[in-house]
Structure 1
Amino acid sequence: MNRVAAWFDARLGGGAWVRKAMRKVFPEHWTFLLGEIALYAFVVVLVTGVFLTFFFKPSMSEVVYAGPYAPLRGVRMSEAYASTLEISFEVRGGLLIRQLHHWGTLVFLAAITVHLLRNFFTGAFRKPRDLNWIIGVALFALVMFNGLFGYSLPDDVLSGAGLRILHAITLSVPLVGTYLASFLFGGEYPGEDIIARLYSIHTLLIPALLLALLPLHALVLTWRQTHTQFRAKRLSNAQVRGVPFYPAFAAKTTAFFLFVFAVIALLATLFQINPIWLYGPYRPSVVGAGSQPDWYMAFMEGALRIMPPWEITVFGFTVSLSVLIPALIGPGALFTGLALWPFVERWITGDHRVHHLLDRPRDAPIRTGIGVAGVVFYGILWMAGGNDVLAHTFHISLDTTTRFFRVAVLVGPVLAYVIAYRIALGLQARDRRTLTSGVETGVIVRLPAGGYEEIEAPAGDELVAALTPPDPPVRPSRFNTADWRRAVAGSRADDD
C-alpha cells in the first residue's frame, strides 16, 4: 500500500494533504449522523436508479400487455407502464430494486429534512456556513421535485393523478402557463412527450446537479470550514473534539453505511410500496379514491385542498389564486425564506461573528419558536392532504375537515410559536437555577426545626460549560429590540 501510494504521489502529488486529511478530527455526537444517513441513502438511490434505467422504457406509445400478470393481459397501456410491470415481474430482482429505489428516496428525503431542522434549531447555518446552508436548501428542493418526477414515470393511475395536478399548476402560471404546459406535455393533456421529458430531467439533469452540489455540501465545504460541535468544557471556536478520520471514523462510518443500507433493504423486502399493478394504467377519466402522494409532497396537496376557490382578473386575464398561491407562491416563499434566514437573523441580531459552537434550542427562543411554528404549519398541511381519508375514517363531513384545516393552518403555528417560546424561557430559567443553586442529588435531610430539605451538589465544570449560554453580540444602537437580542442571540432572558 505504501508503494502504491508513493507511486501516485510521485505522479499526482497531494501526499502531504492526504496524510493531513487522515488525521482530521470528526465530532462524535449522534446528531452529526443525520447528514450521513442522507448521503448513504443517496448512494442507494443512485445505484438502484442506474439498474432501473437498463429496463425502463420512457415512452407513451401504446402496447397490449401480454406478460405474466394475468389481470392485465390484453389491456392497452403505455410502454412506460408495461416496462415497469416487466421490471416488477420478469426481471430477476427487479421488484426488490424498484422498492429499494423508492424506499431509499423516502429515507433520503426524511434524513435531509431532519438534518435541515437540526441545523436550524442549533444555529449551524451561521457564519461561515451560510453558503453551505443555501446549498443544503437547494439540495432539498431538487431531491423533492426529482422524487415527484420519478414517482410519475410508471404512468399508472396514481402517478397520473399527480401529473394532472402538475398540469393544472403549470397552467396557473400567469401569461405563459398555457405555453409551458403545451411544451412540457407535448400538446393537449396528457400529451405524448411528458414521460420522456420527465425521464430526462429525473435521470440526467437533476442527478447531475446533485452530484455536483452534494460533495460540495457534505465534503468540500464541511472539510474546509471544520465541523460544528456542542458547547463543552475547554472547547472554543478554534478547537474540535472527536476522533481522527483514519482509522476510527472511517471504520465507524463504513459500519454506519451498512446499517443504513440494511434498514432500507429490510423496508424494501418486508413492506410493499407503490404496487402499480393494483392501480392499472393511467386513463384521464380515472381517478382512484383516496389517492395520496408520497409524504414529502403531501403539504402541497393539503394546501391545494383547503385553499378557497379564489380568482382574479387582471387586464382581461383570469388568474387562479386557488392554484397559484398553494402550489407556486407558497413553496417559493418557503424555500426562499429558508435560504435567506441566516442573513435575516444576522441583520436582526447584528451578530457577524464566526460560529463553530452550536446553540441549544432553548438558547435562542425566538428562532426555536419560529422553527416549531414552521413544523406545525407543514404538519397541518400534510394532514390536510388526506382530508378525504380522515373524513371517511372518522365518519365526519368532508366540508367540516376542510374548514377545520383552514382555521388550524392559521391558528396552529401561532400557538406553537408561543408555547415553544415560553418553554425555551422556562428551560433557561431552570439552567440558571442549576448554575446558582446546584444539581439535585435526591438526598433529603431533616432540619433542626423539623422541616426537610434536599441536598444540592455544585454543578461540575462540564455541566457549567454546557448550560452557560453564549455571549450576546454587540448590536448597533439603532436596534432597540432587546428581546430579539436576548432570545435569538442566545443570551440569558430576564423573565421566566
Structure 2
Amino acid sequence: MSTTSKVADTNGGTAARSGKPSKVGAAANWADERLGLAGLAKKNLRKVFPDHWSFMLGEIALWSFVVLLVTGIFLTFWFNPSMTEIEYQGSYAPLRGSYISEAFNSSLHISFDVRGGLLLRQMHHWAAHLFIGSMLIHMMRVFLTGAYRKPREINWVIGVLLLTLGTLEGFTGYSLPDDLLSGTGVRAADGFVKSIPVIGTYGSFLLFGDEFPGHSIIPRLYIIHVLLIPGLILGLIAAHMLLLVYHKHTQWPGPGRTEQNVVGFPMLPVYAAKAGGFFFIVFGATALMGGLMTINPIWMYGPYDPTKVTAGSQPDWYMGWPDGLLRIIPGWTEVSFWGVTLALPVFLTVILVPTLIITFLILYPFIDNWISGDKREHHLLQRPRDTPARTGLMAALVTFYVLALFAGGNDIIAIRLDLSINQITYFLRAAIFLGPILAFWITKRWCISLQRHAKEQALHGYETGIIERSPEGAYSERHLPLPDAKQALIVGRERDQLLELEPAVDKNGVERPHNRKERLRLALNRFWFADNLQPPRLRSSRRRTTTTTGTTATSSRPARTTTTATRWSRATEDGRPPGRLSPPHGDVHDRTGARIRRGSGRPSAFPRGAARRPPWWLPPLVLVLLTRLADAWMLVRLGAGQVALDVGQGFYLVEPVPDDPGYADLVTNWDGQWYRTIAEQGYPTELPATTGRSSRTPGPSSPRSPRSPGSSCR
C-alpha cells in the first residue's frame, strides 16, 4: 500500500507523513518559540467587541490621528523651522521680492512647488480638526452614557488629557507657517502667558527665549509639535487601548447582555475587517476635504509682521471659546495696586476658566461616584434620559461653549447681520450665565418626560393606532408589547440610590457627628436623583440547556456547547409576576443575543409548565360572567337617566325623559334583549344604532339605518 505525502486519504496501517512547512509558517513558528506570541494572539484575536454606531466616534479619532502621522511625516521632509529672513523667489508671484522667514518660505514651497504638497498640507489640517472634534464628541458620548464609571475612571482621565494635548497640538501646528494669521495667534499667546500673576513674564521669556517675537519660538514650537506632544499622545492612546481590552468594551442593554458578558463580534475576522474598512473611509473623506475644500491659505495672509494684524482674524474653533470670554468680560476687572497691574480679564478667561473646566472633567467620575455612593462595576451603558441631571449638566456645558464661541466672533456677527457689536456683547454677557442654567433645567425636565413615556410603554405597550370598542361601549386604542431590545433598554437600567443621613445617635446612645461634607453629599444626591422616575421591574425566567458533541457532559468534563435562553415577560411596577405568564412576543435569545426560532432545532427555551396558556373553557366563562355583570349594571343605572343597551346590532344610548308621558318603562327579559314602547307619535318606532355617546337627538323625520352610526335617541 502506498503512502501519502501530505494528507492521508485511507485508513490503512501506514501513517501519513507531514509535508514541509511553508516559509510563513516557519517564520511564525520561529517567532513563537522565542516570544511566545501564539497564546497571546489566540486570546486577543478572538476578543469580542460590541457593535453600535456610537462606538465609531472613537475610531474616527484613532484613524484621523493615523492620517495626521502619515501626512505629518511627509511635511517634515520639506518644512524648515527657521525664523531667518530671506528674499522670496518662489512660484507665487505676488510675494516675489518680499523678505520672509524660512518657515514661511518652506510652507509656500510645499504648497506650490512640491507635487501633492498642497493636498497633503490641507489633509493634515483637516485631519487635525477631525481628530479634536471626534475626540470631543466621543467624550460627550462617554459622559452621557455613563461609560466613565467604575472601573473606567482612569480611561476617562486619559481621554481628558488626550483632548487637552490635542488642542495644544493643534495650536502649535497652525502657528508653524509664520504667516500673518498664525503670528497674530502667537502674539496673543504671549499676552496670555504674561497675564499669569508673578510668573507670567518669566514664562514668556522661557518660551520665546527673548522679547517677543524673538528668533526661537518657531523652532521650539516645531519640537513640541513633532516630538513632545505626539509622543505623549501615542503613549496615552496605547494606555487607552490596553485598558479598553482589559476592562472589555461597554455595551448597550439588551436581550442576552449582562454586566458579566459582551455580545458582539470577534476581533478576527469581523471586527478587524470593519475597522480596516473604516480607516479607508476616514482617509478617503479627509482626502476629499483636502482636495476640494481650501483651508488656511497662507499665501493670502502674507508673512508675519508685528506691526500688522489681520482684519477679522479668528482662531480655530477649539481655541475660539476662551477668546470669546475675553471679548465679553468687562474691563473694570483689571486691577492695579502698588504700581502693579494685574491683567485679570486675560488671566480669568484664558487661563483660569479652561484650567478649572479641565480639572472638573478629570475629577468628575470621582465626584459622581461620591454623590451616588455607587461602588459597583458597570459594563452596561445608560441612555441620556436615564440620568436627567447628568444630561442637563452636559447641555449646560455645551450651551456655555457655544455662547463663548459666538462671542469670539462678535465682530463678524455684527458685520454680517448689520447689528451693534455693543448690543451683542451685552446680550452675551447675560446669556453666558443664564443660558447654561436654562439649558440644564429644560434638558432635565425633557429627560424626565421621556422617562415617563418610556415607563408607560414598558407597562402598557406602544400605541398601534387601532381603535377598539369594548362590549360596554368604551373605546380604547390597542397597545402591543415593545420589542425585546427596546424593552430591555427601559427596564434593564439600575434603579437610582437615594442616600439617607444616618441617625444623630448611634445604637449605643453616642451622638454621631454629622459634618458639612456628609450633608452636602446628601443634598447633591437628592438634587441629582430625587426627580428621576425609576424603571418598572421585569420578571424573567431562565433555563440553561446544555448540548454536547461527541462526549457526555459531566461534572469533571463540561459540555462543549452551552446555550442560555431568557424569556422576557411583561414589565410590572413592583416586579411581581404579571397576570399573563406567557411572553408578550415570544422572542428567545441565547448568550450572543441571537434570536432562537421555535421549531428550528435549537434547544427549547421554555421549561415544561413554566408558561402555560389558559384553558380553553376559561375565556367563554369569563365572557358570560362579564355579560351578566353588564346586564346587572345596566339595571342599576336605569334610574340614573342614561342606560346603554345592546340589541345585537350595535350600542344604543337611551335617555328617558321623566316629564314625557309617552315614554313607558323599560323592561328586559332573561335573554338580555332590551325593548322600548312608545305611545306617542312623532318618535321613531325602531331604535337607531349608535357608535358613540353623543348627546345629539335625531328628530322624528330623520330615522337612521340600524347599522349606521348615529346619536342617542329620546
CA shift for structure 1 position 378: 0.4
Question: Structure 1: which 5+ runs fail to align?
Answer: none
Q: 1:306 aligned to 2:328?
A: yes
Q: What percentage of residue pairs aligned between the two structures are identical?
A: 47
Q: What SS does the corresponding residue of 1:154 show, helix, strand or coil?
A: coil
Aligned-partner residue type, residue 163 of structure 2: F
Give the equivalent residue in structure 1 for 2:692: none
Aligned partner of 2:257 among 235, 243, 252: 235
Does residue 438 in structure 1 map to residue 461 in structure 2?
A: yes
1:471 maps onto 2:495 in alignment:
yes
Question: Aligned partners of 2:47 and 2:483: how far apart in 1?
Answer: 29
Residue 163 of structure 1: aligned partner:
186
1:26 aligns with 2:49: yes
- Cα distance in 2, alignment partners of residues 355 and 4 from structure 1: 42
**1:50-199 to 2 correspondences below 5 Å:** 50-199=73-222
- Structure number with the bigger relative contact order (C-alpha 8 A, sep ≥ 6) is 1
- C-alpha distance in 2 between matches for 1:147 and 1:257: 21
Question: Is the 2:119–2:291 Cα contact (8 Å) retained in structure 1?
Answer: yes
1:280 to 267, 277, 302: 302
Residue equivalent to 1:251? 273
Offset of residue 326 of structure 1: 0.7
> Greater shift after overlay, 137-146 or 188-197?
188-197
* Distance in 2 (alpha carbons) for counterparts of 1:50 and 1:345: 42
CA displacement 1:363-410 (0-9 Å, x = unmatched): 111111101100110011111111000000011111111111111111
1:396 alignment partner AA: L
- Please give the residue correspondences for 1:379-398 in structure 2 after superposition, counting only pairs within 5 Å: 379-398=402-421
Given candidates 398, 402, 406, the residue that maps to 2:429 is: 406
Contact 1:349 1:488 (8 Å CA) reproduced: no
- Give, in angstroms, the shift of residue 449 of structure 1: 6.0
Q: CA deviation at 1:293?
A: 1.1
Alignment deviations for residues 399-432 of structure 1 (CA, whole Å, 9 cap, x no partner):
1111111111111100100000000100110111
CA 1:272–1:16 in structure 2 vs 1: closer, same or farther (change >3 Å)?
same
Q: Provide the aligned C-alpha RMSD in A.
A: 1.7
Deviation at 1:435, TM superposition (A): 1.4
For the pair shown, the structure with the greater C-alpha radius of gyration is 2
One-letter amino acid of the structure 2 residue matched with residue 189 of structure 1: F
Match of 2:393 among 370, 390, 402: 370
- Measure, in 1, the Cα distance between the counterparts of 2:83 and 2:485: 64
Alpha-carbon contact 2:388-2:443 (below 8 Å) kept: yes
SS of 2:467's equivalent? strand
Distance between the aligned counterparts of 1:166 and 1:272, measured in 2?
A: 26
**Which residue of structure 1 aligns with residue 510 of structure 2?**
none
- For 1:298, the aligned partner's letter is G
1:337-348 aligned at under 5 Å gives the runs 337-348=360-371
Is the Cα contact below 8 Å between 1:364 and 1:487 reproduced in 2?
no
Deviation at 1:443, TM superposition (A): 1.6
1:50–1:242: structure 2 CA closer, same or farther, 3 Å change rule?
same
- 2:26 maps to 3
Kindly state the Cα deviation for residue 225 of structure 1 after the two structures are TM-superposed. Answer: 0.5
C-alpha distance in 2 between matches for 1:138 and 1:489: 32
CA deviation after TM superposition for structure 1 residue 477, in Å:
3.2
Contact 1:351/1:489 (<8 A) preserved: no
Q: CA deviation at 1:451?
A: 5.5
2:529 corresponds to:
486
Q: Secondary structure at the match of 1:190?
A: coil
Q: 2:243 aligns with which of 197, 221, 224?
A: 221
Shift of 1:153: 0.6
Give unpaired runs (5+ residues) of structure 2. Answer: 1-23, 503-520, 537-714
Output the CA distance in 2 between the equivalents of 1:485 and 1:401.
34
Aligned residue type for 2:78: F
Matched, 1:266 2:288: yes
Q: Report the equivalent of 1:328.
A: 351
Q: Deviations over 1:268-302 (max 9, x none)?
A: 01000000000000101111111111111111111
Deviates more, 1:441-450 or 1:387-396: 441-450
Q: Name the count of aligned residue pairs.
A: 492
**What do the CA deviations read for 1:104-130 (whole angstroms, capped 9, x no partner)?**
000111100100000000000001000
Q: Which residue of 1 aligns with 2:594?
A: none
3-state DSSP class of the match of 2:468? strand
Q: How much does 1:176 deviate?
A: 1.5
8 Å CA contact retained: 2:145, 2:382: yes
Q: What amino acid does structure 2 have at the position aligned with 1:181?
A: S
Whether the 8 Å CA contact 1:473–1:489 is kept in 2: the answer is: no
Q: Look up the SS of the partner of 1:239 in the other structure.
A: coil
More helix, by proportion: 1
Give the equivalent residue in structure 2 for 1:357: 380
Tell me by how many angstroms 1:189 deviates. Answer: 1.4
2:361 is equivalent to residue 318 of structure 1: no
The residue identity in structure 2 corresponding to 1:294 is D
Please state how far the C-alpha of 1:473 moved relative to its aligned partner: 4.1
Q: Residue 454 of structure 1 aligns to a residue in which SS?
A: strand
Tell me the TM-score normalised to structure 1 length: 0.96
Q: What is the rounded CA distance, in whole Å, between the counterparts of 2:442 and 2:454 in structure 1?
A: 18
